[in-house]
Amino acid sequence: MSLGAIYMTITRIKLIAAAVLFLGLFAILGFKTEPIVTSAATPDAAATFKAQCAMCHTPTAAKAYDPAKPDEEHIQTILKGRKGEKPPYMPGYEAKGMTADEAKALAEHMRTLRTPKT
């Protein structure tokens, strides 16, 4: 074997080793981020309510919320927002990327918060 051929072989081994390492790393990272992606695709209404709504509505949906109104009206208010007499106003969440299904889940969650536990 000539020196040149040995050098080529070493270069090739290095390239293969780098590729294997890269693929391994990619597999580990891909595996780790998967649950995060899944949870973002199926948001939990209770967690969303705590993070984005409880500061105005209180954790028990005691404020600015009337459970006597139908779900459909609540869903529309969540999606489109509503200006009351004075701030803070109800923001429209459709503009922030919320879907009708997510709004429905939130409306149902708020109702359970106001339903007395037996």
Site for ligand HEC contains 57 (CB under 6 A): yes
Closest CA relative to residue 79, chosen from 65, 67, 95? 95
What does the block give as tokens for 52?
A: 């984005």
Q: Closer CB to ligand HEC, residue 13 or residue 55?
A: 55
Site for ligand HEC contains 79 (CB under 6 A): no
Q: List the interface residues with ligand HEC, window 4-33 (CB under 6 A).
A: none
Tell the residue number behind the tokens 């529309």, with chain if given: 76
One of 69, 72, 101, 114 touching ligand HEC (CB under 6 A): 69
Amino acid at 12: R
For residue 110, the minimal CB distance to ligand HEC (Å) is: 6
Query: Is residue 99 within 8 Å of residue 45, measured between CB atoms?
Result: no
Residue 14 CB burial class (10 angstroms; 0-12, 13-18, ≥19): exposed
- Residues lying near ligand HEC in the complex (CB under 6 A): 52-53, 55-57, 64-66, 69, 74, 77-78, 82, 84, 88-91, 93, 106-107, 110
